[in-house]
Structure 1
Amino acid sequence: MVSVQSPVSGRPLVIAHRGGALLAPENTAEAFRAAVAAGADMVETDLRLTADGALVCLHDADLKRLCGDPRAVAEVDLATIRNLLPAVMTLPDAIAASAPLGLLLDVKLTERAVVPRILAELSHAGAAGRTLLGLRDLDLIALARARTSEVALLAFAADPDSAARARAAGANWFRLWQGTATAERAAAVRAEGLKLAVMVGQPRSVALPEDPPFPVGRVDRDGLDRLLALSPDAVLLDDPRLLADILAGRPDVTGLSPG
């Protein structure tokens, strides 16, 4: 079982973004299975709330991209979403499907009530020790830390220079985007005693000069080489084979073209 509290020394954890979005339909059990075969250490999936309060593994706030329905996830009940997207997973589904890999939960929610619910699900399933809980709000990080020492917490901070605040709130990990991942920021993260996770690609519809020329989750070999020079503790990417092959000593990996 992957330990997210103490990752393997000397190499980053390979995290399949959205379960491995270039291997199979994103955030599905099929993607999780493909990530295992691809050599991933962990799978990442997203959490949103349905109208009837189910925690579901969907990235977008609405259903338009995935199935052409413009409604928000929060406006639709779980049964309807399952009719539209039969492969959609709930949080318990994702916990079960991810085993024995590590599980990174990207919580797209700001409601305080979801934190104890998520922690209770992880505890009930015996998955707390292999889960990395990703939160965007410092207050939610503090709330989670007050309730558990077993689950590792990742700060999905908007400010790349807020490692000290994330640590004070109780985070164990800090996320940098590829475009903001400099040697100075990596050193600042480590100075706070935090583990560093880097998300490849760029988060904007219009890239800034410092952003790589790839959408979120995509990367090429040159980009991976530059990131590995920073010695991150984890890297998130849509195709975990790219990084797993490099770490396994298969240097013929070239990565992906922009698009």
Structure 2
Amino acid sequence: MMVSAQPPASGRPLVIAHRGGALLAPENTAEAFRAAAAAGADMVETDLRLTVDAVLVCLHDADLKRLCGDPRAVAEIDLATIRRLLPSVMTLQDAIAASAPLGLLLDVKLTERAVVSRILPRILAELSEAGAAGRILLGLRDLDLIAMARAQAREVALLAFAADPDSAARARAAGANWFRLWQGTATAKRAAAVRAEGLKLAVMVGQPRSVALPDYPPFPVGRVDREGLDRLLALSPDAVLLDDPRLLVEARAGHADVTGLSPG
């Protein structure tokens, strides 16, 4: 089953607006989603965390310090309190509605297997009830969680946010359809290895660490310049994640090989 992200004309990678388009509007908000759509993004990416009252909310950080100065963890606060502090915060249900008709990449920040085993059926049920499963890319950070998700949902495309850039074979065996490489690890050899496993390649631009690594591009996560984009496009990735989708909309013209997001 195709995950329709309304891909552009053949020969171009999908434009995925990281954190909804964090350079266009406040990150992970409906406003950012709208701005990303207007800028020509094919998909929006958002993060999922769990509140103390078991609500899935679209927040990247484990706590609220960066966004509003509150040092408490998301997992320690209920939805009503978070909404008082961050009125624009979205729940999963809000994100599904706000992203339509674009594709939606859900980055599940939860890694504890016991927790994910409880919430994964809820995620899948909400997608199904909204009729959105066909445009979803579900991102998980542990291969066992990918296997768990694959056992429960054949129709949802799964992206491996693998820490090891050379684990494409293991990701495919677990049931992934997509594999993420960071810009600094996205070599021609690794791109070929991803494709050899029948996986589609998504590249995340910028630094994977708060402290810059010397062999990585000199930009924070989600940021990139035109030179960096051109180098990535030479690898013919299937998708690129970045904070400002306008950069890739402009740069991708003439580059090759867009694909859909089918699970298999």
> How does the TM-score come out when normalised to structure 1?
0.93
Alignment partners' CA distance in 1, 2:166 and 2:118: 28
1:235 matched to 2:240? The reply is yes
**Residue matched to 1:49:** 50
Matched to 1:60, the amino acid is D
**Residue matched to 1:252:** none
Matched to 2:33, the amino acid is F
Q: How does 1:86-105 map to 2 (within 5 A)?
A: 86-105=87-106
Q: Which has the higher contact order (CA 8 A, sep 6+)?
A: 2
Matched to 1:192, the amino acid is E
Other structure's SS at 1:118 match: helix
**Residue matched to 1:224:** 229
Paired residues of 2:15 and 2:41 also in contact (CA < 8 A): yes
Matched to 1:123, the amino acid is S
**Residue matched to 1:117:** 122
**Residue matched to 1:21:** 22
Alignment partners' CA distance in 1, 2:250 and 2:87: 32
Alignment partners' CA distance in 2, 1:125 and 1:246: 34
Alignment partners' CA distance in 2, 1:8 and 1:164: 30
1:158 matched to 2:154? The reply is no
Matched to 2:96, the amino acid is I
Paired residues of 2:206 and 2:217 also in contact (CA < 8 A): yes
Alignment partners' CA distance in 1, 2:59 and 2:211: 23
Q: Please identify runs of 4+ aligned residues in structure 1 that moved more than 6 A.
A: none
Alignment partners' CA distance in 1, 2:194 and 2:249: 24
Other structure's SS at 1:113 match: helix
Paired residues of 1:2 and 1:41 also in contact (CA < 8 A): no
Matched to 2:108, the amino acid is V
TM-align CA RMSD: 1.6
Gaps of 5+ in 1: 250-259
Other structure's SS at 1:45 match: strand
Other structure's SS at 2:248 match: helix
Gaps of 5+ in 2: 255-264
Matched to 1:90, the amino acid is T
Q: How does 1:36-75 map to 2 (within 5 A)?
A: 36-75=37-76
Q: 1:114 Cα shift?
A: 1.6
Q: 1:139 Cα shift?
A: 1.1
Alignment partners' CA distance in 1, 2:214 and 2:69: 32
**Residue matched to 2:191:** 186
Other structure's SS at 2:95 match: helix
**Residue matched to 1:173:** 178
**Residue matched to 1:107:** 108
**Residue matched to 1:130:** 135
**Residue matched to 1:82:** 83
Q: 1:206 Cα shift?
A: 1.9
Other structure's SS at 1:167 match: helix
C-alpha distance 53-71 of structure 1, shift in aligned 2 (>3 A): same
Matched to 1:127, the amino acid is A
Q: 1:248 Cα shift?
A: 4.2
Alignment partners' CA distance in 1, 2:84 and 2:12: 41
